[in-house]
Structure 1
Amino acid sequence: MGHFYVDDSVHNEAGFIIGACVYTEIDLSNEIDNIIEKHGYDKTEFEHKSGASYSKDPNKIKVREGLKQLLIHQCKLGVVVIPSDQREKLGFECIKAIKTFIVHNNLKDPNDIYFDQGHFMSRQKAQDAIDAQNFTDSSFILEQDSRVIKGIQLADLAAHVASMHFKSTLHLITKMVKSGENSGYEPDSDMELGFEMWATLRYTFFNKGTSEHAGDHTRDSMVKVEPYGLYVSELCSIELQGKARQAFADVYLGCIH
């Protein structure tokens, strides 16, 4: 059985929301609990929140890095882009996106699909939207607490990292950091913070895969993400659609260490 976990990252100042749909083939709750407990937190109380401050508690950074490794090695990711002034429609757009991701990636049923709290004001309207997509043997579990449904914490992290990358491509993040180990780049090279956070998560996207272009390293290292792992809402302006596709539709993998 597959599992989808849905959460979002809202950026009113930039005019967009990223919804993250994280897919796993197995329940990763135990692995997430182990990461939380390993760094000194109570698994029944602690939850990773990307908006929390990390500067005074380095162990939270270690939890985040542990969750990122789970994302990279055991999950696949699809992202949804909608305008920030259409927040009340995010959940409905994510329903459409998940149907798209299931179809284009040939995912097998059944699937359990978990949404974080606050995505739907009306359960009946949500159910109507689900029914309209003709899902087969999939269960939607709405309004879930991420302290209980641990996979939502992975979606929270994925939405945050994807948003930071998007803001970086929009030149809204300019802080430079060292690329570090396992980034696909020279460890001492400089890159923007938004891209540094993105450098490993990019391998997680649902995608079509690479094509062979003899002698063209750049084209051989590109993967097509849309529509396999990118859903750009029709609610977006033409400008926002273009920027979203520039950021996510084709992803350069570079060297994988």
Structure 2
Amino acid sequence: MAHFYLDDSKHHTRGFSLAAFAICETDPQAELTSVLRENGFDPSVYEFKSSAPIKDNPGQQRLRNHLKWFIRRNCKIAVCVVEGDGNIGPASLRLLQKAIAHKRFKGQRHEVYFDQGLFSSRQTAQRIASECVGLEKCSFHFEQDSRSVAGIQVADLVAHLCGTLLLDALGHIDKKVKIKNSGYPQDLDIELGFELWADLRYEFLSVAKPNPDDEFDMSVVAVEPHGLFIHESVGEPVAEAARKRFGEMYLGCIH
């Protein structure tokens, strides 16, 4: 059994919203509560939000880094891209259909948690889910308070990072950063999009490509369809950028 947590990242002026599942094979609540406490935050009143400014807050910076480390150790990622907020919830269920068809999850029971506001109502969400073929073994928890369900806070970070990756693929980000212990020279400026991609690329739900053409191709995995769903509402430039950024992942050496 796996635990699926979904949150979204909205970019209306750029023509898309992105929702992401953070998928854990065990219930992460106890560990995430400990992570919050270890970083000086009371989980009963505090929740991590990627949209909150952290530039001048070392505690939140440490927490964000710890959550990113948690993702690398414990999560698989699946994303859907839509245009129009009303499409986020239904599209995420279509993504879920594809994700649980992966051999890693197929035939199992799963717990699935959604942040608040992704459907017009809890009743609407339940109706749409009941009409989706293949989701009979999923126990749904709609309209969840992310303060109480810490896995949604992780999904919030995943959606934010993946949204930033798509913005980068669309050419909207030109920020560069320096990364300690990256294997590159310490004074080298690295594009933010590349740094995020390098950090997350192993975590996307994927399968080996059939019939690879060469050694390079053997290092590339297919994220689509299990880990990527592009809704028909999305304009062609965004759909093309999303497929280019997320559709396949190169897992070989980048140094």
The answer to whether the Cα contact below 8 Å between 2:170 and 2:238 also exists between their aligned partners in 1 is no
Match in the other structure for 2:24: 24
Given the superposition, is the C-alpha separation of residues 30 and 16 from structure 1 closer, same or farther in structure 2, using an over 3 Å criterion?
A: same
Q: Distance in 2 between matches of 1:43 and 1:138?
A: 27
1:2 maps onto 2:9 in alignment: no
Q: Which residue of 1 aligns with 2:192?
A: 193
- For the 8 Å contact 2:90–2:128, the answer to whether it is kept is yes
CA distance in 2, matches of 1:136, 1:256: 41
1:51 aligns with 2:51: yes
Q: Is the 8 A contact 2:169 2:242 kept in 1?
A: no
Q: Shift of residue 18 of structure 1?
A: 0.9
Paired residue for 1:227?
Answer: 225
1:147-158 to 2 correspondences below 5 Å: 147-158=147-158
Output the amino acid matched with 1:126.
Answer: A
Query: Which of 241, 246, 252 matches 2:244?
Result: 246
C-alpha change, 1:120 and 1:17, in structure 2 (3 Å) is same
Give the drift of 1:255: 2.8
Q: Aligned-pair RMSD on alpha carbons?
A: 2.0
In structure 1, what is the Cα distance between the partners aligned to 2:205 and 2:45? 32
Written as runs of structure 1 = structure 2, the 5 A alignment for 1:158-237 is: 158-181=158-181, 186=184, 188=186, 189-209=188-208, 216=215, 218-237=216-235
Map of 1:71 onto structure 2: 71
Q: Give the match for residue 81 of structure 2.
A: 81
* Structure 1 residues 248 and 64, CA gap change in structure 2 (3 angstroms): same
Does the 8 A contact of 1:104 with 1:227 survive in 2?
no
Tell me the amino acid that sits aligned with residue 59 of structure 1. G
CA distance in 2, matches of 1:172, 1:30: 38
Which one is further off, 166-175 or 102-111?
102-111
Aligned-residue offset at 1:72: 0.9
Deviation for aligned residue 1:256: 8.3
Normalising by structure 1, report the TM-score: 0.91
Structure 2: state its 5+ residue gaps: none
SS at structure 1 position matched to 2:13: coil
Alpha-carbon distance between aligned partners in 1 of 2:155 and 2:185, rounded to the nearest angstrom: 27
Identity of aligned residues (%): 37
Give the Cα–Cα distance (whole angstroms) in 2 for the partners of residues 151 and 170 of structure 1: 29
| Counterpart in the other structure of 2:108 | 109
5+ long unaligned stretches in structure 1:
none
Residue in 1 aligned with 2:127? 128
Deviation of residue 6 (structure 1)?
A: 0.3
Seen in structure 2, the aligned counterparts of structure 1 residues 41 and 256 have a Cα distance that, compared at 3 Å, is: farther
Residues 231/39 of structure 1: CA separation in 2 closer, same or farther (3 Å cut): same
Q: In 2, are the aligned partners of 1:164 and 1:195 still within 8 Å (CA)?
A: no
1:186-218 Cα offsets, whole Å, 9 max, x none, are 2534321133223211111000136685863x3
Query: Separation in 2 of the partners of 1:171 and 1:243?
Result: 9
Offset at 1:58?
0.9
CA distance in 2, matches of 1:15, 1:158: 19
SS at match of 1:206: coil
* Count of residue pairs brought into register by the alignment: 252
Alpha-carbon contact 1:105-1:228 (below 8 Å) kept? no
1:39 aligns with 39
What letter matches 2:88 in structure 1? L
